[in-house]
Structure 1
Protein backbone atom coordinates (compact mmCIF):
# COMPACT_ATOMS: atom_id res chain seq x y z
CA UNK A 1 0.00 0.00 0.00
CA UNK A 2 1.27 3.48 -0.88
CA UNK A 3 -0.18 6.61 0.73
CA UNK A 4 2.74 8.91 -0.05
CA UNK A 5 4.54 9.44 -3.33
CA UNK A 6 6.19 12.10 -5.47
CA UNK A 7 5.42 12.66 -9.14
CA UNK A 8 8.09 14.22 -11.38
CA UNK A 9 9.35 16.29 -8.44
CA UNK A 10 11.99 18.90 -9.23
CA UNK A 11 13.65 20.93 -6.47
CA UNK A 12 16.31 23.60 -6.69
CA UNK A 13 17.88 26.61 -5.07
CA UNK A 14 17.80 29.57 -7.41
CA UNK A 15 18.83 28.32 -10.84
CA UNK A 16 20.60 25.26 -9.45
CA UNK A 17 18.51 22.09 -9.79
CA UNK A 18 19.14 19.58 -6.98
CA UNK A 19 16.41 17.01 -7.64
CA UNK A 20 15.20 16.49 -11.20
CA UNK A 21 11.78 15.01 -12.06
CA UNK A 22 11.97 12.42 -9.30
CA UNK A 23 9.10 9.98 -8.79
CA UNK A 24 9.27 7.76 -5.73
CA UNK A 25 6.77 5.77 -3.71
CA UNK A 26 7.07 5.44 0.07
CA UNK A 27 5.72 2.08 1.29
CA UNK A 28 3.20 2.48 4.10
CA UNK A 29 4.07 1.15 7.59
CA UNK A 30 7.60 0.26 6.46
CA UNK A 31 11.07 1.66 7.09
CA UNK A 32 12.45 3.44 4.02
CA UNK A 33 16.06 4.55 3.94
CA UNK A 34 17.52 7.02 1.45
CA UNK A 35 21.21 6.63 0.64
CA UNK A 36 23.58 8.44 -1.68
CA UNK A 37 26.70 10.62 -1.80
CA UNK A 38 26.91 14.06 -0.23
CA UNK A 39 25.05 16.68 -2.23
CA UNK A 40 22.90 14.20 -4.16
CA UNK A 41 19.63 15.65 -2.85
CA UNK A 42 18.72 13.34 0.06
CA UNK A 43 18.01 16.05 2.62
CA UNK A 44 16.51 18.32 -0.02
CA UNK A 45 14.03 15.59 -0.94
CA UNK A 46 12.94 15.14 2.68
CA UNK A 47 12.48 18.89 3.14
CA UNK A 48 10.39 19.17 -0.02
CA UNK A 49 8.16 16.22 0.85
CA UNK A 50 7.47 17.70 4.30
CA UNK A 51 7.03 21.19 2.81
CA UNK A 52 9.91 22.77 4.71
CA UNK A 53 11.06 24.02 1.31
CA UNK A 54 9.03 24.48 -1.84
CA UNK A 55 9.57 22.56 -5.05
CA UNK A 56 9.80 23.97 -8.56
CA UNK A 57 7.59 21.47 -10.36
CA UNK A 58 5.88 18.14 -9.94
CA UNK A 59 3.92 17.16 -6.84
CA UNK A 60 3.95 15.38 -3.49
CA UNK A 61 0.79 13.35 -2.92
CA UNK A 62 -0.39 12.09 0.48
CA UNK A 63 -3.70 10.24 0.78
CA UNK A 64 -4.69 11.46 -2.65
CA UNK A 65 -4.13 15.13 -1.78
CA UNK A 66 -1.44 17.51 -3.01
CA UNK A 67 0.73 18.31 0.02
CA UNK A 68 1.38 21.84 -1.30
CA UNK A 69 -2.32 22.66 -0.89
CA UNK A 70 -2.75 21.13 2.59
CA UNK A 71 -3.47 23.25 5.65
CA UNK A 72 -0.24 23.51 7.67
CA UNK A 73 -1.69 22.25 10.95
CA UNK A 74 -3.53 19.43 9.22
CA UNK A 75 -0.34 18.38 7.46
CA UNK A 76 1.52 18.46 10.80
CA UNK A 77 -0.97 15.89 12.08
CA UNK A 78 0.02 13.53 9.28
CA UNK A 79 3.80 13.83 9.08
CA UNK A 80 6.62 14.86 11.41
CA UNK A 81 10.26 15.57 10.58
CA UNK A 82 13.38 15.45 12.70
CA UNK A 83 15.97 17.59 10.87
CA UNK A 84 19.66 16.76 10.67
CA UNK A 85 20.54 19.44 13.22
CA UNK A 86 17.51 20.14 15.44
CA UNK A 87 17.14 23.69 16.68
CA UNK A 88 18.65 24.44 20.06
CA UNK A 89 16.54 23.46 23.05
CA UNK A 90 18.55 25.66 25.40
CA UNK A 91 16.72 26.29 28.67
CA UNK A 92 14.01 23.70 28.05
CA UNK A 93 13.37 20.57 30.06
CA UNK A 94 12.72 17.29 28.32
CA UNK A 95 9.01 17.42 29.12
CA UNK A 96 8.71 20.96 27.79
CA UNK A 97 10.42 20.08 24.52
CA UNK A 98 8.31 16.98 23.94
CA UNK A 99 5.14 19.01 24.61
CA UNK A 100 6.00 21.17 21.58
CA UNK A 101 4.92 18.20 19.48
CA UNK A 102 1.33 18.96 20.50
CA UNK A 103 1.35 22.31 18.67
CA UNK A 104 -0.81 21.12 15.73
CA UNK A 105 -3.60 20.23 18.14
CA UNK A 106 -3.61 23.42 20.20
CA UNK A 107 -6.25 26.12 19.87
CA UNK A 108 -6.93 29.45 21.53
CA UNK A 109 -4.20 30.33 24.02
CA UNK A 110 -2.28 27.16 23.29
CA UNK A 111 -2.72 25.57 26.70
CA UNK A 112 -2.12 21.85 26.98
CA UNK A 113 -5.21 19.72 27.53
CA UNK A 114 -5.48 16.51 29.51
CA UNK A 115 -5.15 14.60 26.23
CA UNK A 116 -1.98 16.55 25.40
CA UNK A 117 -0.39 15.63 28.73
CA UNK A 118 -1.37 11.98 28.25
CA UNK A 119 0.25 11.88 24.79
CA UNK A 120 3.44 13.54 26.09
CA UNK A 121 3.66 10.93 28.88
CA UNK A 122 3.15 8.15 26.33
CA UNK A 123 5.87 9.53 24.02
CA UNK A 124 8.31 9.75 26.94
CA UNK A 125 7.48 6.19 27.97
CA UNK A 126 7.83 4.69 24.50
CA UNK A 127 11.21 6.35 23.89
CA UNK A 128 12.59 5.52 27.32
CA UNK A 129 13.02 9.17 28.28
CA UNK A 130 10.47 9.42 31.09
CA UNK A 131 13.18 9.49 33.75
CA UNK A 132 14.60 12.64 32.12
CA UNK A 133 11.28 14.51 32.03
CA UNK A 134 12.42 17.33 34.34
CA UNK A 135 16.07 17.35 33.22
CA UNK A 136 17.43 20.13 30.99
CA UNK A 137 17.77 18.86 27.42
CA UNK A 138 21.26 20.40 27.27
CA UNK A 139 22.41 18.13 30.14
CA UNK A 140 21.67 14.90 28.26
CA UNK A 141 24.05 12.75 26.23
CA UNK A 142 23.83 12.77 22.43
CA UNK A 143 21.86 9.52 22.31
CA UNK A 144 19.47 10.65 25.02
CA UNK A 145 18.87 13.97 23.26
CA UNK A 146 18.12 12.22 20.00
CA UNK A 147 15.56 10.00 21.73
CA UNK A 148 13.94 13.11 23.23
CA UNK A 149 13.64 14.72 19.79
CA UNK A 150 12.06 11.50 18.52
CA UNK A 151 9.66 11.66 21.48
CA UNK A 152 8.67 15.16 20.38
CA UNK A 153 7.99 13.86 16.86
CA UNK A 154 5.92 11.03 18.36
CA UNK A 155 3.91 13.52 20.41
CA UNK A 156 2.69 14.92 17.10
CA UNK A 157 0.81 11.64 16.69
CA UNK A 158 1.67 11.38 13.02
CA UNK A 159 1.70 8.09 11.17
CA UNK A 160 4.73 9.12 9.08
CA UNK A 161 8.04 10.24 10.63
CA UNK A 162 10.95 11.63 8.60
CA UNK A 163 14.48 11.71 10.04
CA UNK A 164 17.48 13.32 8.38
CA UNK A 165 20.62 11.45 9.45
CA UNK A 166 19.35 10.61 12.96
CA UNK A 167 22.62 8.87 13.91
CA UNK A 168 24.98 11.72 13.02
CA UNK A 169 27.50 12.59 15.77
CA UNK A 170 26.50 9.54 17.84
CA UNK A 171 28.86 6.73 18.85
CA UNK A 172 28.16 3.16 17.70
CA UNK A 173 26.12 2.16 20.77
CA UNK A 174 23.92 5.25 20.61
CA UNK A 175 23.45 4.83 16.86
CA UNK A 176 22.17 1.32 17.43
CA UNK A 177 19.98 2.52 20.29
CA UNK A 178 18.26 5.10 18.09
CA UNK A 179 17.82 2.75 15.12
CA UNK A 180 16.39 -0.02 17.29
CA UNK A 181 13.94 2.49 18.76
CA UNK A 182 12.78 3.48 15.26
CA UNK A 183 12.45 -0.18 14.33
CA UNK A 184 10.35 -0.76 17.46
CA UNK A 185 8.11 2.19 16.57
CA UNK A 186 7.63 0.76 13.12
CA UNK A 187 6.86 -2.77 14.26
CA UNK A 188 4.78 -2.05 17.36
CA UNK A 189 3.20 1.32 16.53
CA UNK A 190 2.99 0.76 12.74
CA UNK A 191 4.69 4.10 12.08
CA UNK A 192 6.00 4.71 8.58
CA UNK A 193 9.65 5.69 8.97
CA UNK A 194 11.61 7.52 6.27
CA UNK A 195 15.23 8.37 7.04
CA UNK A 196 18.48 9.42 5.45
CA UNK A 197 21.47 7.30 6.48
CA UNK A 198 25.12 7.37 5.46
CA UNK A 199 26.05 3.96 6.85
CA UNK A 200 25.20 1.38 4.18
CA UNK A 201 25.19 -1.55 6.59
CA UNK A 202 22.80 0.22 8.94
CA UNK A 203 20.57 0.99 5.97
CA UNK A 204 20.57 -2.67 4.92
CA UNK A 205 20.00 -3.92 8.46
CA UNK A 206 17.05 -1.73 9.37
CA UNK A 207 15.33 -0.79 6.11
CA UNK A 208 12.52 -2.61 4.35
CA UNK A 209 12.96 -0.38 1.31
CA UNK A 210 16.02 1.54 0.13
CA UNK A 211 16.19 4.44 -2.33
CA UNK A 212 19.65 5.09 -3.79
CA UNK A 213 20.09 8.61 -5.15
CA UNK A 214 22.78 10.15 -7.31
CA UNK A 215 22.75 13.70 -8.65
CA UNK A 216 19.11 14.16 -7.72
CA UNK A 217 17.81 11.06 -9.47
CA UNK A 218 17.05 7.50 -8.42
CA UNK A 219 19.62 4.94 -9.45
CA UNK A 220 17.83 2.04 -7.79
CA UNK A 221 14.94 1.56 -5.38
CA UNK A 222 13.84 -1.70 -3.82
CA UNK A 223 14.59 -4.06 -0.96
CA UNK A 224 18.12 -4.24 0.43
CA UNK A 225 19.03 -7.29 -1.68
CA UNK A 226 18.19 -5.30 -4.80
CA UNK A 227 20.01 -2.11 -3.79
CA UNK A 228 23.03 -3.16 -1.74
CA UNK A 229 24.85 -4.76 -4.67
CA UNK A 230 28.29 -4.27 -6.14
CA UNK A 231 26.83 -2.77 -9.32
CA UNK A 232 24.54 -0.25 -7.61
CA UNK A 233 27.19 0.89 -5.11
CA UNK A 234 29.68 1.33 -7.93
CA UNK A 235 27.24 3.52 -9.83
CA UNK A 236 26.14 5.57 -6.81
CA UNK A 237 29.37 5.94 -4.81
CA UNK A 238 32.09 5.12 -7.35
CA UNK A 239 33.42 2.28 -5.20
CA UNK A 240 34.29 -1.34 -5.79
CA UNK A 241 32.52 -3.02 -2.88
CA UNK A 242 32.79 -6.55 -1.59
CA UNK A 243 29.27 -7.64 -0.58
CA UNK A 244 28.71 -10.40 1.96
CA UNK A 245 25.89 -11.57 4.22
CA UNK A 246 25.29 -10.28 7.73
CA UNK A 247 25.36 -13.44 9.91
CA UNK A 248 22.78 -11.97 12.32
CA UNK A 249 20.20 -10.68 9.85
CA UNK A 250 21.04 -12.60 6.65
CA UNK A 251 20.88 -9.29 4.83
CA UNK A 252 23.61 -8.05 2.47
CA UNK A 253 26.42 -6.04 3.97
CA UNK A 254 29.40 -4.13 2.60
CA UNK A 255 32.46 -5.97 3.93
CA UNK A 256 35.08 -3.71 2.36
CA UNK A 257 35.55 -1.45 -0.64
CA UNK A 258 38.04 0.42 -2.75
CA UNK A 259 37.62 3.78 -4.41
CA UNK A 260 37.51 3.51 -8.18
CA UNK A 261 39.99 5.94 -9.68
CA UNK A 262 39.71 6.89 -13.33
CA UNK A 263 37.73 3.81 -14.22
Structure 2
Protein backbone atom coordinates (compact mmCIF):
# COMPACT_ATOMS: atom_id res chain seq x y z
CA UNK A 1 0.00 0.00 0.00
CA UNK A 2 1.66 3.21 -1.20
CA UNK A 3 0.12 5.53 1.42
CA UNK A 4 0.58 3.22 4.43
CA UNK A 5 2.05 5.00 7.46
CA UNK A 6 2.53 1.70 9.33
CA UNK A 7 3.87 -1.34 7.50
CA UNK A 8 4.47 -4.72 9.15
CA UNK A 9 5.99 -7.51 7.07
CA UNK A 10 6.87 -11.08 8.00
CA UNK A 11 6.56 -10.30 11.69
CA UNK A 12 7.39 -13.05 14.15
CA UNK A 13 7.02 -12.57 17.90
CA UNK A 14 6.45 -14.69 20.97
CA UNK A 15 7.08 -14.35 24.67
CA UNK A 16 9.75 -16.69 26.05
CA UNK A 17 7.32 -18.53 28.30
CA UNK A 18 4.66 -18.94 25.62
CA UNK A 19 4.18 -20.23 22.11
CA UNK A 20 4.70 -18.00 19.08
CA UNK A 21 2.03 -15.31 19.03
CA UNK A 22 2.66 -13.83 15.59
CA UNK A 23 4.25 -15.75 12.73
CA UNK A 24 4.69 -14.26 9.26
CA UNK A 25 2.29 -11.44 10.11
CA UNK A 26 1.71 -8.75 7.47
CA UNK A 27 -0.29 -5.58 8.09
CA UNK A 28 -0.56 -2.16 6.49
CA UNK A 29 -2.27 0.79 8.17
CA UNK A 30 -3.24 3.60 5.80
CA UNK A 31 -2.33 7.20 6.48
CA UNK A 32 -5.15 9.24 8.09
CA UNK A 33 -7.29 6.15 8.75
CA UNK A 34 -9.34 5.27 11.83
CA UNK A 35 -8.40 1.67 12.63
CA UNK A 36 -9.95 -0.67 15.19
CA UNK A 37 -8.02 -3.65 16.58
CA UNK A 38 -10.52 -6.19 17.89
CA UNK A 39 -10.30 -9.72 19.22
CA UNK A 40 -10.72 -11.97 22.25
CA UNK A 41 -8.71 -11.55 25.43
CA UNK A 42 -5.20 -12.88 24.92
CA UNK A 43 -5.29 -12.61 21.12
CA UNK A 44 -2.36 -10.18 21.04
CA UNK A 45 -3.97 -6.77 20.56
CA UNK A 46 -1.87 -4.98 23.18
CA UNK A 47 1.26 -6.83 22.07
CA UNK A 48 0.65 -5.71 18.49
CA UNK A 49 0.40 -2.02 19.37
CA UNK A 50 3.49 -2.27 21.58
CA UNK A 51 5.38 -3.70 18.60
CA UNK A 52 4.12 -0.90 16.35
CA UNK A 53 5.15 1.72 18.92
CA UNK A 54 8.66 0.26 19.22
CA UNK A 55 8.16 -0.84 22.84
CA UNK A 56 8.79 -4.48 21.89
CA UNK A 57 11.15 -5.95 19.32
CA UNK A 58 10.07 -8.79 17.02
CA UNK A 59 12.20 -11.91 16.63
CA UNK A 60 12.14 -11.32 12.87
CA UNK A 61 10.37 -9.24 10.26
CA UNK A 62 10.14 -5.50 9.80
CA UNK A 63 8.09 -2.66 11.30
CA UNK A 64 8.18 0.55 9.29
CA UNK A 65 6.75 3.85 10.49
CA UNK A 66 6.45 6.33 7.64
CA UNK A 67 8.90 4.22 5.62
CA UNK A 68 11.56 3.97 8.33
CA UNK A 69 12.28 1.10 10.78
CA UNK A 70 10.67 2.03 14.07
CA UNK A 71 13.80 1.25 16.11
CA UNK A 72 15.90 3.66 14.05
CA UNK A 73 13.98 6.66 15.37
CA UNK A 74 15.38 8.65 18.26
CA UNK A 75 12.84 9.04 21.09
CA UNK A 76 12.19 12.70 20.24
CA UNK A 77 11.69 11.79 16.57
CA UNK A 78 9.35 8.90 17.35
CA UNK A 79 7.31 11.17 19.65
CA UNK A 80 6.47 13.25 16.58
CA UNK A 81 5.26 10.13 14.80
CA UNK A 82 3.44 8.11 17.48
CA UNK A 83 1.58 8.93 20.68
CA UNK A 84 0.43 6.04 22.89
CA UNK A 85 -2.34 5.99 25.50
CA UNK A 86 -1.96 2.78 27.48
CA UNK A 87 -4.78 0.76 29.00
CA UNK A 88 -5.53 2.05 32.50
CA UNK A 89 -2.70 4.62 32.58
CA UNK A 90 -1.15 5.10 36.00
CA UNK A 91 -1.26 8.43 37.80
CA UNK A 92 2.05 10.26 38.05
CA UNK A 93 2.50 11.09 41.75
CA UNK A 94 2.50 14.80 42.57
CA UNK A 95 1.74 16.04 39.05
CA UNK A 96 -1.30 18.09 38.13
CA UNK A 97 -3.45 17.58 35.06
CA UNK A 98 -1.94 20.61 33.30
CA UNK A 99 1.62 19.50 34.08
CA UNK A 100 0.90 16.02 32.74
CA UNK A 101 -0.44 17.34 29.43
CA UNK A 102 2.48 19.76 29.21
CA UNK A 103 4.86 16.78 29.25
CA UNK A 104 3.73 16.00 25.71
CA UNK A 105 5.21 19.28 24.53
CA UNK A 106 8.43 18.79 26.49
CA UNK A 107 8.95 15.50 24.62
CA UNK A 108 8.98 17.45 21.35
CA UNK A 109 11.06 20.55 22.08
CA UNK A 110 14.42 18.86 21.46
CA UNK A 111 17.21 21.38 22.02
CA UNK A 112 14.76 24.19 22.75
CA UNK A 113 15.08 25.04 26.45
CA UNK A 114 11.81 26.86 27.06
CA UNK A 115 8.26 26.17 26.02
CA UNK A 116 6.69 29.04 24.12
CA UNK A 117 3.19 30.47 23.88
CA UNK A 118 2.35 28.14 20.98
CA UNK A 119 3.08 25.11 23.18
CA UNK A 120 0.87 26.47 25.95
CA UNK A 121 -1.91 27.13 23.46
CA UNK A 122 -1.75 23.50 22.27
CA UNK A 123 -2.02 22.34 25.89
CA UNK A 124 -5.02 24.59 26.57
CA UNK A 125 -6.72 23.41 23.39
CA UNK A 126 -6.16 19.74 24.29
CA UNK A 127 -7.57 20.27 27.78
CA UNK A 128 -10.61 22.01 26.34
CA UNK A 129 -11.23 19.32 23.70
CA UNK A 130 -11.18 16.53 26.29
CA UNK A 131 -13.27 18.35 28.88
CA UNK A 132 -10.41 18.44 31.38
CA UNK A 133 -9.88 22.21 31.43
CA UNK A 134 -11.91 22.50 34.63
CA UNK A 135 -9.67 20.05 36.50
CA UNK A 136 -6.34 21.34 35.15
CA UNK A 137 -5.03 22.28 38.60
CA UNK A 138 -5.96 19.00 40.30
CA UNK A 139 -3.38 16.30 41.03
CA UNK A 140 -3.71 13.03 39.13
CA UNK A 141 -4.08 11.00 42.32
CA UNK A 142 -7.28 12.94 43.03
CA UNK A 143 -8.99 11.85 39.81
CA UNK A 144 -11.37 9.04 38.97
CA UNK A 145 -10.40 6.39 36.43
CA UNK A 146 -12.51 8.05 33.74
CA UNK A 147 -11.03 11.49 34.40
CA UNK A 148 -7.53 10.04 34.32
CA UNK A 149 -8.24 8.39 30.98
CA UNK A 150 -9.32 11.73 29.49
CA UNK A 151 -6.20 13.46 30.84
CA UNK A 152 -3.92 11.00 29.06
CA UNK A 153 -5.98 11.41 25.91
CA UNK A 154 -5.40 15.17 26.20
CA UNK A 155 -1.67 14.53 26.52
CA UNK A 156 -1.71 12.38 23.37
CA UNK A 157 -3.52 15.13 21.46
CA UNK A 158 -1.05 17.75 22.72
CA UNK A 159 1.80 15.63 21.37
CA UNK A 160 0.49 16.36 17.84
CA UNK A 161 1.92 13.13 16.47
CA UNK A 162 0.96 11.65 13.11
CA UNK A 163 -0.39 8.48 14.77
CA UNK A 164 -2.38 8.11 18.00
CA UNK A 165 -2.54 4.59 19.45
CA UNK A 166 -5.02 3.93 22.25
CA UNK A 167 -5.48 0.72 24.23
CA UNK A 168 -9.15 0.48 25.25
CA UNK A 169 -9.59 4.26 25.71
CA UNK A 170 -13.23 3.95 26.82
CA UNK A 171 -12.70 1.21 29.42
CA UNK A 172 -13.41 3.48 32.40
CA UNK A 173 -15.90 5.82 30.74
CA UNK A 174 -19.68 6.06 30.89
CA UNK A 175 -21.64 5.86 27.65
CA UNK A 176 -21.69 9.64 27.16
CA UNK A 177 -17.93 9.97 27.49
CA UNK A 178 -17.39 6.88 25.34
CA UNK A 179 -19.19 8.55 22.45
CA UNK A 180 -17.48 11.88 23.12
CA UNK A 181 -14.10 10.15 23.03
CA UNK A 182 -14.77 8.49 19.69
CA UNK A 183 -16.19 11.73 18.26
CA UNK A 184 -13.04 13.52 19.40
CA UNK A 185 -10.80 10.88 17.83
CA UNK A 186 -12.82 11.00 14.61
CA UNK A 187 -12.35 14.77 14.51
CA UNK A 188 -8.60 14.31 15.05
CA UNK A 189 -8.61 11.99 12.03
CA UNK A 190 -10.78 14.06 9.70
CA UNK A 191 -9.83 17.60 10.71
CA UNK A 192 -6.18 17.19 11.76
CA UNK A 193 -5.15 14.33 9.46
CA UNK A 194 -4.15 11.97 12.29
CA UNK A 195 -4.04 8.20 11.95
CA UNK A 196 -5.98 6.72 14.87
CA UNK A 197 -5.48 3.12 16.05
CA UNK A 198 -7.82 1.94 18.79
CA UNK A 199 -7.80 -1.37 20.65
CA UNK A 200 -11.38 -2.08 21.64
CA UNK A 201 -13.85 -4.73 22.75
CA UNK A 202 -16.81 -2.61 21.65
CA UNK A 203 -18.02 -3.92 18.29
CA UNK A 204 -20.65 -1.19 18.01
CA UNK A 205 -18.24 1.74 18.37
CA UNK A 206 -15.76 0.08 16.01
CA UNK A 207 -18.47 -0.51 13.43
CA UNK A 208 -19.68 3.06 13.68
CA UNK A 209 -16.38 4.98 13.66
CA UNK A 210 -13.65 2.84 12.07
CA UNK A 211 -12.66 2.91 8.40
CA UNK A 212 -10.61 -0.26 8.81
CA UNK A 213 -11.04 -3.15 11.23
CA UNK A 214 -8.34 -5.67 12.12
CA UNK A 215 -9.87 -8.68 13.87
CA UNK A 216 -7.36 -10.94 15.61
CA UNK A 217 -8.31 -14.59 15.82
CA UNK A 218 -6.33 -17.44 17.32
CA UNK A 219 -4.99 -20.16 15.05
CA UNK A 220 -2.75 -23.21 15.34
CA UNK A 221 0.24 -21.32 13.96
CA UNK A 222 -0.35 -18.09 15.87
CA UNK A 223 -2.76 -15.22 15.45
CA UNK A 224 -4.64 -14.80 12.19
CA UNK A 225 -5.75 -11.36 11.03
CA UNK A 226 -9.04 -10.55 9.31
CA UNK A 227 -8.70 -7.09 7.77
CA UNK A 228 -11.17 -4.90 5.90
CA UNK A 229 -14.01 -2.46 6.37
CA UNK A 230 -16.33 -3.06 9.35
CA UNK A 231 -18.98 -4.37 6.97
CA UNK A 232 -16.53 -6.86 5.46
CA UNK A 233 -15.02 -8.11 8.71
CA UNK A 234 -17.71 -7.82 11.38
CA UNK A 235 -20.15 -10.43 10.12
CA UNK A 236 -22.21 -12.64 12.41
CA UNK A 237 -20.42 -15.72 11.15
CA UNK A 238 -16.91 -14.36 11.68
CA UNK A 239 -17.66 -12.80 15.07
CA UNK A 240 -19.07 -16.12 16.23
CA UNK A 241 -16.05 -17.96 14.87
CA UNK A 242 -13.47 -15.68 16.51
CA UNK A 243 -15.17 -15.10 19.87
CA UNK A 244 -16.76 -18.53 20.21
CA UNK A 245 -20.25 -17.12 20.79
CA UNK A 246 -23.10 -17.18 18.25
CA UNK A 247 -24.13 -13.65 17.31
CA UNK A 248 -27.11 -12.06 15.57
CA UNK A 249 -26.71 -8.82 13.60
CA UNK A 250 -29.45 -6.28 12.97
CA UNK A 251 -30.13 -2.62 12.27
CA UNK A 252 -31.40 -0.23 14.95
CA UNK A 253 -31.78 3.53 14.34
CA UNK A 254 -29.64 3.21 11.22
CA UNK A 255 -26.73 1.48 12.95
CA UNK A 256 -25.71 -2.16 13.06
CA UNK A 257 -26.09 -3.95 16.39
CA UNK A 258 -24.57 -7.24 17.50
CA UNK A 259 -26.33 -9.44 20.05
CA UNK A 260 -24.92 -12.67 21.49
CA UNK A 261 -27.32 -15.59 21.29
CA UNK A 262 -27.26 -17.23 24.72
CA UNK A 263 -29.70 -19.30 26.77
CA UNK A 264 -32.02 -17.42 29.10
CA UNK A 265 -30.66 -16.86 32.59
CA UNK A 266 -31.01 -20.03 34.64
CA UNK A 267 -32.01 -22.12 31.63
CA UNK A 268 -29.69 -25.06 30.85
CA UNK A 269 -28.15 -25.23 27.39
CA UNK A 270 -29.94 -27.38 24.86
CA UNK A 271 -33.51 -26.63 25.97
Q: Residue in 1 aligned with 2:257?
A: 253
2:43 and 2:65 mapped to 1: Cα distance? Answer: 24
Structure 1 position 29, deviation (Å): 1.1
TM-score w.r.t. the length of structure 2 is 0.87
Q: Residue in 2 aligned with 1:4?
A: 6
2:25 and 2:237 mapped to 1: Cα distance? Answer: 21
Structure 1 position 138, deviation (Å): 3.0
Check if 1:39 corresponds to 2:45. Answer: no
- Mapping 1:186-225, distance limit 5 Å: 186-215=189-218, 216-225=222-231
Check if 1:157 corresponds to 2:160. Answer: yes
Q: Which residue among 31, 44, 57 is the counterpart of 1:54?
A: 57
Q: Residue in 2 aligned with 1:235?
A: 241
Q: Residue in 1 aligned with 2:182?
A: 179
Distance 1:41 1:5, change over 3 A: same
Contact 1:35–1:210 (CA<8 Å) still a contact in 2?
yes
Q: Residue in 1 aligned with 2:29?
A: 26
- Mapping 1:11-160, distance limit 5 Å: 11-14=13-16, 16=18, 17-107=20-110, 111-160=114-163
Contact 1:143–1:178 (CA<8 Å) still a contact in 2?
no
Contact 1:143–1:170 (CA<8 Å) still a contact in 2?
yes
SS of 2:237 mapped into structure 1: helix
For these two proteins, the number of residue pairs brought into alignment is: 258
SS of 1:120 mapped into structure 2: helix
Distance 1:246 1:162, change over 3 A: farther
SS of 1:53 mapped into structure 2: coil
User: Between Structure 1 and Structure 2, whose CA radius of gyration is higher?
Assistant: 2
Deviations 1:96-124 (A, max 9, x none): 00011123323459543333222212222
Distance 1:248 1:143, change over 3 A: farther
Structure 1 position 162, deviation (Å): 0.1
1:204 and 1:151 mapped to 2: Cα distance? Answer: 24
1:258 and 1:21 mapped to 2: Cα distance? Answer: 36
Contact 2:76–2:110 (CA<8 Å) still a contact in 1?
no
Deviations 1:34-57 (A, max 9, x none): 110111100000001001122111
SS of 2:185 mapped into structure 1: helix
Q: Bigger shift: 42-51 or 180-189?
A: 180-189
SS of 1:123 mapped into structure 2: helix
RMSD of the alignment, in Å? 2.1
